[in-house]
Amino acid sequence: MRGLSDQLTETLEAASQHEKLVFLCSFQKEESVILDELLRIAGGWDRIRVVTIDTGVLFPETLATWKRFEDHYGVRVEVEDAANAADPWTGPEHCCTPLKVAALERSLAGTDAWVTGVRREQAETRAGAELIEDDAKRPGVKKYNPLAFWTEKDVWARIFDRGLPYHPLHDQGYASIGCAPCTQPGDGRAGRWAGTDKTECGIHVV
């Protein structure tokens, strides 16, 4: 665990050198670990924007975890709205519309680096993730994946060791948690868009 802990710290220290750093937060277990370490490194949130994308169909448990994160870490989470009031998302076939990607672009506008909770173990589409990458979609922007080499077991060990808050749906078999209409219990990302060929929402697709 020591090697991975050093890796996490060193990657986030490098990320924290950027003047305009964004941490994209979905309130899952990975974000619990990253926020804890970011706070230790930065000593505050003056230079780090923590942003979430709200689709309007998040689980009630996600909204509650959002509040717990803000209280525990002393951070204010900025919101980018990806909801569609005229045509709400109702299932996997009507999920992760261009509105979500547009919200991501607004989140990253003017930034020079962003931090994600991507891990290689999560899915084949993420198996090549590196700790520090050039963002292929955004010239001049760095993408930091400080947990790239961590396993599920590693993440939980850190959470329990430090008594960090985490999303309660993880205790109900949800390894990965997205929007309520298109997320089911499952290992890895198997519960996301179950029954469809979809594997990513567009945010981490090159």
Q: Which residue has the tokens 């891990």?
A: 119
Instruction: Tell which residue, 201, 204, 205, 206, has the closest CA to residue 89.
Output: 201
Write the secondary structure of the chain as one string of H (helix), E (strand) and C (coil).
CHHHHHHHHHHHHHHCCCCCEEEECCCCHHHHHHHHHHHHHHCCCCCEEEEEEECCCECHHHHHHHHHHHHHHCCCCEEEECCCCCCCCCCHHHCCCHHHHHHHHHHHCCCCEEECCCCHHHCHHHCCCCCEEECCCCCCCEEECCCCCCCHHHHHHHHHHHCCCCCHHHHHCECCCCEHHHECCECCCCCECCCCCCCCCCCCCC
**Which of 95, 96, 179, 201 is labelled catalytic?**
201
Question: Could you confirm whether 201 is annotated as catalytic?
Answer: yes
**Residue positions annotated with a catalytic role:** 201
